[in-house]
Structure 1
Amino acid sequence: MHFILYTADQQESTRFYAFVLGKPPRLHVPGMTEFDLAGGAVLGLMPVAGIRRLLGDALPDPAQAAGVPRAELYLVVEDAAGCLARAVAGGGRELSAVQRRDWGPEVGYVLDQDGHVLAFARADGKPA
């Protein structure tokens, strides 16, 4: 499964996600960056200009929604609080500290520079 986030600045988004995920991208070329995620999933980063070139007027311009949360990337991790802190240190904006949620697990939320929400959930679902 591939998830692609549209970014205003591919280089800055690549730096941020490499820092947050703690690994380099598996692919980094003009127009696309990819990171391996758990379970064989892949996170792609595509510049807004790239999707505009591909789809033209068939899609509203994503740049007009800059800063508006348009997606959530929910990552199940061993150390949710550590990942949240790392994302903030890398330039993300904390939205909500790691805490037990109504549906069970402990989850914290950060906003990346493009307005995408990152959720870090404890893998075991138990309190820290």
Structure 2
Amino acid sequence: MQADTTFWDSLVFDGIDDVDVDEVTAAFGTVDIAARSRATGAMCPDCGGWSNRVHGSYQRRFKDLPLAGQSVVIRLTVRRFICDAADCPRRTFAEPFARLTTPYARLTSRLGHALEHVGLALAGRAGARRTPRS
């Protein structure tokens, strides 16, 4: 079932201006959101130079907070850029999504914070019962 992308853009990515929702599919208790960056380029993390030369792209997949009893999975298309600075040791770099997730993470920052709060408040087995794995 296809869903309205503007609704999901405002719901899931509220306050994150640099992400566009391409497609949303809801089936079998899972909401699958395909998204990409709206930015035209990114800054190199080593030299700070701006680049808009795309080297390639790949997809990251991570979980977000559940919504109405359904698990939410975000498939984010991340672009790699070429750094043009001659003195920069980094040739390519991936665009950052600091407000959405951290590098190498498998879940969004807000889901991580929610699980951290449950773990600190309830600890151990009580926290595991309140947050079932999906």
Task: Give TM-score scaled by structure 2 length.
Answer: 0.27
Asked which structure has the greater CA Rg, the reply is 2
Q: Which has the higher helix share?
A: 1
Which protein, 1 or 2, shows the higher relative CO under an 8 Å CA cutoff with sep ≥ 6? 1
